[in-house]
Structures are given as structure tokens and as C-alpha cells.
């Protein structure tokens, strides 16, 4: 059949078995890729598409109805009305500011996104130096930022902004050659179908079959995300979520099968063990070089991923901390996914914008040591000041995230050769150096270190061992 017939069938629900005709066509074409089977041994063996490791930096966006109360965090609804006992600060916030009986659903009309300019957002993300963007398509509250037919009246097209936020941002992001990913929560705190399945000890799958999976397949076919950042998996096993069946479809037959990457939140016990790259926990940082590709997700606002009205500058990550964190992560082979929470009216708070643009200004000079780099044989040393290493081709990069107090910098790990050359990124002339001993180490004479917004400098070492 013509390719588009196959493509259009992909949007059907439930996913249909391939027709004999399609199998025949497949048999006549050279088969380059083996098919994945719906089990972890097969799925876990899939190589990650190369773009992801090269990208290194992504922007995470937590946006939803939770931005309207703008208090506590994106977990506000749960803290207010889900957990027992509720968080008294959230209860008081509601009592002080809203009429008695006000429901969470009543926040939705105030999620208006009237200043949302996806082009402007995408310009900011591009200026940050990020290579991918991940938006919450649906957080644990269940509200979809697109017109999901399975989320009747609880989506951004039927209520709130009356706009396809996922689609509009995606167009602008892709137009700037950034990869576009979608965060999707598997569970929904208050969905009656989910709560019924939970009550049945997850032996029934009403929520998965009638809500989650149709929505997820539809989302992939409509928006063709290149990352699915799965979350909200931990209450139930992957067999409840049908995760392996979904992933096998995603990797074999979906329209993004060749470029899609996913994380490791596909059911209780999956984190750090199964899936694509590993997040392990939020803000997780390994102590040494992991064997498996990983990503650190973290938030400029250290208290929340979603927008908070009462956010204070002292609660935000300073630029220098962000740069240090990025450098440590990349030296240990990770990607860095940095979060901002937009306001309900569609603004990225200017303080976040400034942080992101400053990260980009640092990367304009030092990006050579970050993008498409690989971990070196040693990840860090402390000889004079902490130094983190990355490598690319025959170059090794030594990134200094603390200003040395002297004019020389000693590194013990590199072994020099007669041809060794040292430069400071952003500085025109090679730097004088001498070995520490004839067989190891290097002492570099530093120039006056130029001002850099991130207070981190990169020495590029060529022809060393």
C-alpha cells in the first residue's frame, strides 16, 4: 500500500495488527532494522537516537491549570485535596483567597494564556543554547494542553486558553530547529477510572484502555514528539500501564520510530532500570560515570516546577550554580533538562528568561566543550580548583568552575606530549604551559580570565594523553 495509507492507519484506535498486504510490502523491501518485541530485554537494547546525546541541554516547561493558583507547586491540587491530611498552607491559601466551595476545576477559566507568544518562547529557548524543549502535555491533574478527545472539557482547547498549546509551541520550536518533546503523566490523581483501577489493585485496566493509551497514541501521531518524558508511573507496575506494548509500537511503527527517545518512568521499579535514557529521580546526579545514558532534570525555581506567584529571587538557582550543574552533568555523560514554569497568562517570568539567555551567553563561548562531547577517561580532579573534563575527537576540555586564585592552573591527569597545545575558549592566543613531571600533569599559565556570565572557563587541550 502507499506509505500514507499505513501512516493514516497509525492514528486508529485501538492499534490494528498489520495487514497481510503491508507484511508483503515489508518483505519486498530491504529490512534494515529488527523489530522490537514488547518486553524489556528487547526494548532496553534499542540504541538511543544520536541527536539526544549530542544535544546535552534541554528546556523543561511545566505549564497547566496549577499555574493559576500559583501557590506551593504543580502538586497544589493534591496537597490541597488529595493527600490525607492536606497541607495546611494550601488549605489556608484557599480559605484566605477564594470563596468557600471553590473547586480546582474553577481555576481552568483563569488559565487564559493571553500573552502566550510561542515564537517569543522559542526565541528564548533557542537563545539559551538548548537543543530540545519538553512541555507538559498533561500533568498529574489530567488537564491536557491540547484538544484531547479523551479529556472532555478538561483540556486547553475546550476551556482555559481555547488554544492548542502543544501544537502551537511545537511549530515555533521546530521552526528554530530545536527538537520537541512532550511530558505525559501516566496517572491522574482524581480520574474516576484510574481510582477504580487502583481500588481493584490494578487488576482492571479501564483507565489505561479508555483514557491513557488512546490519548497517548493520538498525541504521538498528532504531534510527533521526539521525546516522551513519561511520569506518574510509580503506583502501578508497567504491566498495568501496558508500557512495553506502547514502547514496542513507538519504536517499530510510530511516525517517530527513528528519532524518538523516552525516559525510564514506565511503571513501579522501572526508574534507573528500563526504558530509554535514565532520569532515576528528579534532580538525580550520579557520583561517578554511569554506564547508561542519563538526564538530570532540575528547575530554576528550587521549590517548584510550576509557576509560583510568591517566588523569590533567593529561591532560584543562581546562574553560576546552573552552569556548574550543567558542566558536572555533561562531564558525567548526562543531559541537562532545565525547567521554567510559565504564568497562566502565558509569560515566561523575565527572571527565568534572563537565566536562560545567560546560559546561552556562556554556551556561545564554551559550547564547543559541551555539545556532542563525550566523557573523558577522568571526569574531574581537584588539583588547584575543581576541574571537570569533557572530550571531543582529539581534544580534551578542562572546565574550571571556580576562579583560581593564582595565575597558574595545575592539572594532574593530562599527560603532555611535545605537540601539546592549550587554549582558553574565547581567548585568541595559545597559553604557555609546562609539564608537572616529564611524564604527567600540566601547569598552564593563565591569562587574566575574561568576564563570563557563568564564572566558568574552558581550557582546550590538544595532543595530550
Ligand X SMILES: *[C@@H]1O[C@H](CO)[C@@H](O)[C@H](O)[C@H]1NC(C)=O
Give min distance, CB of 19 to ligand X, in A. 17
Q: Give the CA diameter of the chain.
A: 78
Contact 292, 259 (CB under 8 A): no
> Does the protein bind ligand X through residue 408 (CB under 6 A)?
no
Q: Which is nearer to ligand X, 124 or 347 (CB)?
A: 124
Give min distance, CB of 177 to ligand X, in A. 5
**Sole binder of ligand X in the list 206, 381, 420, 443 (CB under 6 A):** 381
Per-residue contact string for residues 14-33; x = within reach of ligand X by CB under 6 A: x-------------------
> Does the protein bind ligand X through residue 245 (CB under 6 A)?
yes
Q: What are phi and psi of 366, to 5 degrees?
A: -105, 0
Give min distance, CB of 241 to ligand X, in A. 9
> Does the protein bind ligand X through residue 213 (CB under 6 A)?
yes
> Does the protein bind ligand X through residue 175 (CB under 6 A)?
yes
Which range of residues in 4-12, 86-94, 274-282, 378-386 is near ligand X by CB under 6 A? 378-386
Cell of 125: 529557548
Give min distance, CB of 245 to ligand X, in A. 4
Per-residue contact string for residues 134-173; x = within reach of ligand X by CB under 6 A: ----------------------------------------
Cell of 186: 501516566
Give min distance, CB of 224 to ligand X, in A. 14
> Does the protein bind ligand X through residue 230 (CB under 6 A)?
no
Which range of residues in 29-37, 93-101, 291-299, 380-388 is near ligand X by CB under 6 A? 380-388
The DSSP call for residue 320 is H
Q: Which is nearer to ligand X, 68 or 326 (CB)?
A: 326
Query: In a 3-state reduction of DSSP, which class is residue 95?
Result: helix
Distance CA 9, CA 254 (A): 10
Contact 75, 355 (CB under 8 A): no
Question: Which region holds residue 8: left if phi is over 0, alpha if psi is between -120 and 50, else beta?
Answer: alpha
Query: In a 3-state reduction of DSSP, which class is residue 326?
Result: helix
Which DSSP string corresponds to 7-65? Answer: HHHTT-SSPPPPPHHHHHHHHHS---SPPPPSSHHHHHTSPPPHHHHHH-EEEEE--SG
**Sole binder of ligand X in the list 128, 151, 242, 390 (CB under 6 A):** 242
**Sole binder of ligand X in the list 4, 32, 88, 177 (CB under 6 A):** 177
Give min distance, CB of 413 to ligand X, in A. 9
The DSSP call for residue 211 is I
Cell of 250: 513507538
The DSSP call for residue 323 is H
Give min distance, CB of 119 to ligand X, in A. 9
Residue 48 burial (10 A CB sphere; 0-12, 13-18, 19+): middle
Count of residues that interact with ligand X, criterion CB under 6 A: 10
Site residues for ligand X per CB under 6 A: 14, 175, 177, 213, 242, 245, 380-382, 386
Amino acid at each position: 500500500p502507499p506509505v500514507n495509507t499505513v501512516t493514516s492507519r497509525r492514528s486508529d484506535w485501538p492499534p490494528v495488527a498489520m495487514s497481510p498486504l503491508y507484511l508483503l510490502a515489508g518483505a519486498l523491501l530491504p529490512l534494515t532494522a529488527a523489530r522490537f518485541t514488547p518486553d524489556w530485554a528487547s526494548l532496553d537494547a534499542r540504541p538511543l537516537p544520536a541527536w539526544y546525546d549530542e544535544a546535552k541541554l534541554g528546556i523543561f516547561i511545566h505549564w497547566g491549570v496549577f499555574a493559576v493558583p500559583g501557590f506551593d507547586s504543580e502538586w497544589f491540587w493534591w496537597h490541597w485535596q488529595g493527600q490525607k491530611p492536606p497541607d495546611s498552607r494550601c488549605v489556608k491559601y484557599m480559605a484566605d483567597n477564594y470563596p468557600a466551595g471553590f473547586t480546582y476545576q474553577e481555576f481552568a477559566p483563569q488559565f487564559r494564556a493571553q500573552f502566550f507568544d510561542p515564537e517569543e518562547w522559542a526565541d528564548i529557548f533557542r537563545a539559551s543554547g538548548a537543543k530540545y524543549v519538553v512541555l507538559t502535555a498533561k500533568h498529574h491533574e489530567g488537564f491536557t494542553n491540547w484538544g484531547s478527545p479523551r479529556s472532555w472539557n478538561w483540556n486547553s482547547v475546550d476551556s482555559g486558553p481555547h488554544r492548542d498549546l502543544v501544537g502551537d509551541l511545537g511549530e515555533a520550536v521546530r521552526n528554530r530547529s530545536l527538537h520537541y518533546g512532550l511530558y505525559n503523566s501516566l496517572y491522574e490523581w482524581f480520574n474516576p477510572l484510574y481510582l477504580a483501577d487502583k481500588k481493584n489493585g490494578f487488576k482492571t485496566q479501564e483507565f489505561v484502555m479508555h483514557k491513557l493509551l488512546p490519548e497517548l497514541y493520538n498525541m504521538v501521531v498528532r504531534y510527533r514528539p521526539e521525546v516522551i518524558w513519561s511520569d506518574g508511573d510509580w503506583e502501578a507496575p508497567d504491566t498495568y500501564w501496558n508500557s512495553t506494548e506502547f514502547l514496542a509500537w513507538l519504536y517499530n511503527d510510530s511516525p517517530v520510530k527513528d528519532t524518538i527517545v523516552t525516559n525510564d518512568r514506565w511503571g513501579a521499579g522501572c526508574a534507573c532500570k528500563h526504558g530509554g535514557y535514565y532520569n532515576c529521580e528528579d534532580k538525580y546526579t550520579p557520583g561517578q560515570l554511569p554506564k547508561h545514558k542519563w538526564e538530570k532534570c532540575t528547575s530554576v525555581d528550587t521549590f517548584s516546577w510550576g509557576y509560583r506567584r510568591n517566588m523569590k529571587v533567593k529561591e532560584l538557582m543562581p546562574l553560576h550554580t546552573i552552569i556548574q550543574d550543567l558542566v558536572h552533568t555533561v562531564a558525567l555523560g548526562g543531559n541537562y533538562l532545565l525547567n521554567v514554569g510559565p504564568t497562566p497568562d502565558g509569560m515566561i517570568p523575565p527572571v527565568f528568561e534572563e537565566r536562560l539567555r545567560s546560559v546561552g551567553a556562556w554556551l556561545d563561548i564554551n559550547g564547543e566543550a559541551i555539545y556532542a562531547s563525550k566523557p573523558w577517561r577522568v571526569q574531574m580532579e581537584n588539583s588547584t580548583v575543581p576541574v571537570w573534563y569533557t572530550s571531543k575527537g582529539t581534544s580534551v576540555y578542562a572546565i574550571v568552575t571556580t576562579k583560581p586564585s593564582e595565575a597558574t592552573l595545575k592539572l594532574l591527569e593530562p599527560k603532555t606530549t611535545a605537540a601539546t597545545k592549550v587554549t582558553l575558549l574565547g581567548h585568541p592566543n595559545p597559553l604557555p604551559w609546562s609539564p608537572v613531571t616529564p611524564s604527567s600533569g600540566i601547569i598552564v599559565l593563565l591569562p587574566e580570565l575574561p568576564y563570563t556570565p557563568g564564572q566558568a572557563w574552558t581550557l582546550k587541550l590538544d595532543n595530550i594523553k
